[in-house]
Structure 1
Amino acid sequence: MRVMVFVKATEDSEKGLLPTEDMTEMFEAMGKFNEELVNAGVMVDGDGLKPSSAGKRIAFDGASRTVIDGPFAETRELVAGYWVWEVKDMDEAVAWAKRCPNPMPGPSELEIRPFYEMEDFGDAMTPELAEREQALRDKLGSQ
């Protein structure tokens, strides 16, 4: 089972402040945690994101596209970083997340969301569509 683990943004992360020496301990702890995830074969990908002031949103309405510049309101709804984990089930993902050092200098939150798998789509995922999807995944893996 693949899950995406979101590190939710905080007011501090949205300020875009670069790490200071007093954050060295937090970075070391997170580095060790990431190393454990990699060594256990759990971590597929992960990274931190710049604050929403550096981002853009694209709003869709039919054929219309509108670009919205950051920063975005509702900091608690934003993402400051992510991991993609391969776990046996949600219980394992929760167990790993509970071992995570606090990713922010203050109160913070992780959110775990499972990816859709091919079998979740039932008959709508025809063998032809599944084959095309697998070909794309194979191509991505070889790049």
Structure 2
Amino acid sequence: MKYMLIFRANDEAMAGMMNVDFNEMLSTVGAYNDEMIRAGVLLAAEGLDDPAEGVVVDFSSEPPVITDGPYGETKELFGGFYILNVASKQEAVEWAKRSPMTGAGFKTEIRRVTTIDEFPQDNEWVQKERKWRESTGQL
């Protein structure tokens, strides 16, 4: 089963990360990544750019409102993610507990990634996506 570990932090935690030596952070996160690679569970891992570089498309009105970052009044920001291939939710939890991104203001949300097999296979859009996934080696 695939699970996504979503790393979130509040403003204070994000500001604290800016005080950590970049090479030290790379070493710490790199060791965590290496552990998951050696265990054969890591499928993808990405961090996200500074929220000030982001854009929000708000569909609360018509037409949608486009706002450049930084985001207004957020309690937590989504900073990056891992996608793991593990046997169970509990195994995903165990990997999340080993994360080096810890401390006050940091959270990791764990969500199962659904598969195309869970959707109605007689739907034309599911069939088109399955064909695309097969042609790109994703299935």
Partner of 1:11: 11
Describe the SS at the equivalent of 1:75: coil
- Higher percent of residues as helix: 1
Contact 1:59 1:67 survives alignment (8 Å)? yes
* Cα deviation 1:1-51 (Å, max 9, x = unaligned): 111111103325655975653x54443121111011112221111111122
Partner of 1:80: 79
Q: 1:65 to 1:131 in 2, by over 3 A?
A: same
Give the number of equivalent residue pairs.
137
Q: TM-score, normalised by structure 2?
A: 0.78
Partner of 1:58: 57
Q: TM-score, normalised by structure 1?
A: 0.76
Show structure 1 runs of 5+ residues with no match.
none
Identical amino acids, percent of aligned pairs = 28
Q: Match for 2:134 among 112, 129, 138? A: 138
Show structure 2 runs of 5+ residues with no match.
none
**Equivalent AA in structure 1 for residue 116 of structure 2:** M
Q: Is 1:90 aligned to 2:82, yes or no?
A: no
RMSD of aligned residue pairs (Cα, Å): 2.9
Describe the SS at the equivalent of 1:126: coil
**Equivalent AA in structure 2 for residue 118 of structure 1:** I
